Chains A and B, each alone.
Chain A
């Protein structure tokens, strides 16, 4: 029997598998229906990061990409409020008109998951909380969400936060739902902090450094008062991925980004050359245009997009990175290092559940964590995707229950049982 909702202006057909709500009332009706019927729902945006986490088989799909648009943008207040299905691109273009941006540089997974030029929605970006090279300076997605509205697993509308940065009014649920992979709340509206684009950007590239020296230079740059906004190391095997007129030296790339006013950038580049004793090294300074391309390539994981290999993401304290890379050499990984030495993107041509476990053990013993980003379905289904310990698992279950008591939102996406 077909069921429709009599209260809504537009009748919803609850028999369909995929819902594409156009307003909050529809989102609420769908969730309430699924709660009542105990039907699991997979919440998706434009499905650019759907490959991350366990594959779901849910009775219903809540596709949010039609719930899109900018609700309120106040450049002078440094915030933007958008509907959850708004494409990242739309937001970035709107912000650029006012020389502003999302400073956390959301990772663009479209190249590695082959979703063409679509880099996803803001809802999906927050659900995953993967942030780019500016992390150590400005924070990640979780540091840029000021507030949200959404629906819990019972279909109740809940909100938290606001439009202001300074706010200690109840628990900071905005942070809790960021990185929760849609397992706690179906987001409907999101308010984000935006920041001015810096007028000038330049990048110092030191070529041909072995990893150890690259790490030392990145660490010293971040620990200096020159305030760099990116520090990344690509080993020599990735050199050919970067073609710039000014980059003529062969070998590995260690890149330090400096952003600010023109005068300031010039001065800080000179300071860095001096402080890090770079003058006798093979140096290239990328100008603004080349620099922007370089960091955009890093944000979209360009060097990992040329094949179908497995991709993992490890984060360890910078002091552990060198030792860890040496300890995982037996896996023959391709890798590059972001966040000034803390984030390691790993590419492996062969991966098994056992190999992931071995890698995870080594990374845990280095006081870090690892996340499986991309692999064959057979590997993913039998592997732990996100690192968690039994205590946090138990608390996560309790938190999950407080938002979604019947576990209808993305059940099992992050962990079996959550």
Chain B
């Protein structure tokens, strides 16, 4: 369990708990306020399950007006608020604080409008990512960002974390696929940003709030862009005898002007593990496999798949398989999507790292990760969103062995430091939360962090919205010490696909 420093607990707030419950019940139905231990338990952690904290209260408002009244009350009474969508996040952004009101948006679960003419959907934040596609697919439309947890994660949470997915190489992440939001600031002010139009004038609050991990406002409505499904989608499964060849092929595909919808690499450890698990038919003699998916018109897809195959052949691939049907395409993906449970078969615990590097550094960074794996004597399996350089090394360990846990923590940190050293960033799609908070100083200096904190202060002067997340508690990077031990273990919701 972590000893990560969190904001000081306000004992006065805890003492006033009963009064707070009674006050809040003026703003929302009493049944929406949870205060008994057994009611609070399900909310004590999010997808980063090593960190647990029971909140003071959980409140599940039903309308924007209720959210506004609750926030305004919390602001006046200096009560911390931690927002939560579906709680599937992997960086601990929704970890409660002992003296907080955990504001769950689960009851905001309705799609408010489907507008095919303007190609958008207006949804409440608790609607799941996949439910949006389900609501429009009868007319051949879909919502493009597809985080692997899309059956469970909420669209509000996607906005808060700027979620990506396998197809973000071609279609972008959440920030490129939303048109507007309604949100409530800590003082209760309701703001509408954007709408059904692009690029509203003035400061780009939509861009600022997307990926702000619940530190700036509570999102109460999201308008997303929907796209028409492409005519044809095909995948190609390619084996390589070295990671270098796989990495070089990715570079060559892109420098030949081809942007596949998705490009994924898996290393030998993972492909063996997942193949055993899902029988995806991967070439087991390969050191690495590349799955590329191309979409568009039939002739275009056929032409580009052939080009991709030719490029990979020039880069010494050892096998090529092109999907002949949608079933076969999904089979190619089935192994990749089973990465988490497959690793769960290999070790009692695993920890998934998320960082981004320039594509050209894939093979080099992997070699370094292999060296680290030997140094820490911990096995690691590697999956990459190779097209956009987003790494997901999975470290396998046994949480019951204390030294193993500590070594895993250090290993994960070293990988992220490598990402920064090779010109990348600390998080591609999981966010910073509490998990990578103290590593922010690897990427940013005091000025950079102070500038970000001063934006936070301008919107939330008392730092009541999700405090203790994203930015180091000690504001100056120079003051950062080894104050904490990162605790990480198996993810919650291990039965849903991840990354």
A74 contacts B by Cβ under 8 Å? yes
Given contacts A170-B470, A225-B229, A315-B197, contact A195 B430 (CB under 8 A): no
Determine the residue in chain A with the shortest Cβ distance to B470.
Answer: A170
Interface flags for A150-184 (1: CB within 8 Å of B; 0: not) read 00100011111011111111111111101110001
B contact residues around A1 at 8 Å (CB): none
Q: How far is the CB of A163 from chain B (nearest CB, A)?
A: 6
Contact B428 A166 (CB under 8 A): yes
Contact B425 A169 (CB under 8 A): yes
A398 contacts B by Cβ under 8 Å? yes
Given contacts A139-B176, A140-B198, A402-B457, contact A175 B423 (CB under 8 A): no
Residues facing A in B141-199 (CB within 8 A) are: 161-162, 164, 168-169, 172-173, 175-176, 185, 189-191, 193, 195-199
Q: How far is the CB of A109 from chain B (nearest CB, A)?
A: 16
CA distance A219 to B115 in the complex (A): 13
Contact A176 B203 (CB under 8 A): yes
Q: How far is the CB of A116 from chain B (nearest CB, A)?
A: 27
B contact residues around A387 at 8 Å (CB): 200-202
Q: How far is the CB of A30 from chain B (nearest CB, A)?
A: 17
B contact residues around A371 at 8 Å (CB): 201
B contact residues around A316 at 8 Å (CB): 197
Contact B199 A172 (CB under 8 A): no
B356 contacts A by Cβ under 8 Å? yes
A76 contacts B by Cβ under 8 Å? yes
Contact B304 A170 (CB under 8 A): no
The size of the chain A interface, using a CB distance under 8 A, is: 84
Interface segment, A35-43, A262-270, A280-288? A262-270
Contact B451 A402 (CB under 8 A): yes
Determine the residue in chain A with the shortest Cβ distance to B91.
Answer: A168
Determine the residue in chain B with the shortest Cβ distance to A314.
Answer: B197
Determine the residue in chain B with the shortest Cβ distance to A140.
Answer: B199
Given contacts A168-B211, A168-B431, A225-B231, contact A368 B440 (CB under 8 A): no
Given contacts A143-B176, A158-B447, contact A179 B204 (CB under 8 A): yes
Determine the residue in chain A with the shortest Cβ distance to B164.
Answer: A166
B376 contacts A by Cβ under 8 Å? no
Interface segment, A60-68, A128-136, A328-336? A128-136
Given contacts A140-B198, A166-B168, A225-B230, contact A178 B300 (CB under 8 A): no
Given contacts A139-B172, A263-B299, A318-B117, contact A170 B199 (CB under 8 A): no
Contact A267 B297 (CB under 8 A): yes
A224 contacts B by Cβ under 8 Å? yes
CA distance A176 to B207 in the complex (A): 6
Contact A261 B304 (CB under 8 A): yes
CA distance A157 to B185 in the complex (A): 29
Contact A395 B429 (CB under 8 A): no
Determine the residue in chain B with the shortest Cβ distance to A75.
Answer: B255
Residues facing A in B426-450 (CB within 8 A) are: 426-432, 436, 440, 443-444, 447-450
A227 contacts B by Cβ under 8 Å? yes
15 new A-B contacts, CB < 8 A, other than A143-B175, A227-B230, A392-B205, are A139-B176, A157-B447, A160-B448, A166-B173, A169-B425, A175-B204, A225-B228, A261-B303, A263-B299, A318-B118, A386-B202, A387-B201, A391-B190, A392-B191, A402-B455
Instruction: Give 23 CB contacts A-B under 8 Å.
Output: A76-B251, A98-B255, A129-B199, A129-B204, A139-B176, A159-B444, A164-B428, A165-B389, A166-B385, A166-B388, A166-B429, A168-B432, A169-B436, A170-B471, A179-B204, A223-B228, A264-B299, A267-B297, A317-B195, A392-B202, A392-B205, A398-B459, A403-B451
